Amino acid sequence: MHQTVDHVRLSEDGGALIILDQRRLPLHREYLTLTEKQQMYDAIKSLAIRGAPAIGIFAAFGMTVLARSMPLGDRAAFDREFLASSAYLNSSRPTAVNLGWALGRMERVLAANPTLPPEALLPLLRQEAQNILDEDIAMCTAISEYGLSLLKPGDGVLTHCNAGPIATSRYGTAIGPLILGAERGIRLRAFSDETRPLLQGARLTSYELQRAGVDVTLICDNMASMVMKNGWVQFCFVGCDRVAANGDAANKIGTSGVAILAKHYGIPFYVLGPSSTVDLKTPTGADIPIELRSEDEIRSKWYAEPMALPEVKCYNPAFDVTDHELIAGIITEKGICRPPYTESLRKLFA
């Protein structure tokens, strides 16, 4: 059994949130200890914690830590501070739906117990956060099983960005089938796009696959067409940060380009993610807010000195939206959804 990664956990006394700092991987495995809401906001914003499901797990446990220092003798004041802190964390990244989803679940613990004193809410909040983690582990395992059911030994799978254990839990989503396959002795090949400008595919995906014993080849983003043309790729598996009601899917910038190439070469393109990333309140991809990040991530982040003049304008959207018509299937823990997604996604929640 693949071990649960310890990328998000509470301290032994429950007074702090301890996370694996994803910014330092793959060469440095370092942990951050967080107790303040500003630290938690910054951890999400700076990508110390990233991956839509992992952000949701992080936010849920973060609220249990913050709740301990709220006014425990005044329920009305406690509720006000709790909701304000929740809204503050929710503002850290706009695209991934799991953040608001997990915080909404924590808020509902308060709504469901309107007469309990704050002290009695603390164990309920902690249990709800644990439920979110446990459910994600089960969801990732199921998603990995469904994805693996599509593959046969020797298949090549191209992925973009990082949707592995540290972005989720246990097996991950997009690369979960590959890790599960390796665990069962099924020989598969992975091609990992480096994923500019933050290099999650290089730093994180290739790291996780290599450690799991998967035959992984790291490629630059602009090499995807070549490996597809060479016949090395039989499937594309990617994660998602939000899926609209019509099946349009937001994922790391560059994903839609991979989907367009896959269509040209006749390669099925699948989106893998828990049902919590499906947002039926968002009609289409055009309604998904796209986060814009610092120009310096393009200009200078990974370089000893800047690679462009300081006055050169940069455009740095963190995500793009893949049109539903390019997607062969959306794999959740409940099964594989096929077009038309307006019908199959709704059935998930029937």
Question: How many CB atoms are located within 10 Å of the residue 192 CB?
Answer: 29
Q: Which of 155, 241, 248, 320 is catalytic?
A: 241
Cβ neighbourhood burial of 310 (10 Å; 0-12, 13-18, 19+) = exposed
Does the annotation count 241 as an active-site position?
yes
Structure tokens at 134: 């446990």
User: Which uninterrupted H or E stretch holds 10?
Assistant: strand 8-10
CA distance 93 to 77: 26
CA distance 220 to 210: 17
CA distance 190 to 230: 14
The residues, ordered by sequence, that sit 6+ positions from 132 with a Cβ below 8 Å of its Cβ are 56, 57, 60, 102, 105
User: Which uninterrupted H or E stretch holds 159?
Assistant: strand 156-159
Among the listed residues 314, 286, 290, 320, the one whose alpha carbon sits nearest the alpha carbon of residue 301? 314
CA distances from 327 to 165, 253, 285, 340 (A): 23, 16, 13, 10
Residue 153 one-letter amino acid: P
Structure tokens at 203: 């730093």
Give, rounded to a whole angstrom, the gap between the first and last alpha carbons of the chain.
32
Instruction: Enumerate the active-site residues.
Output: 241
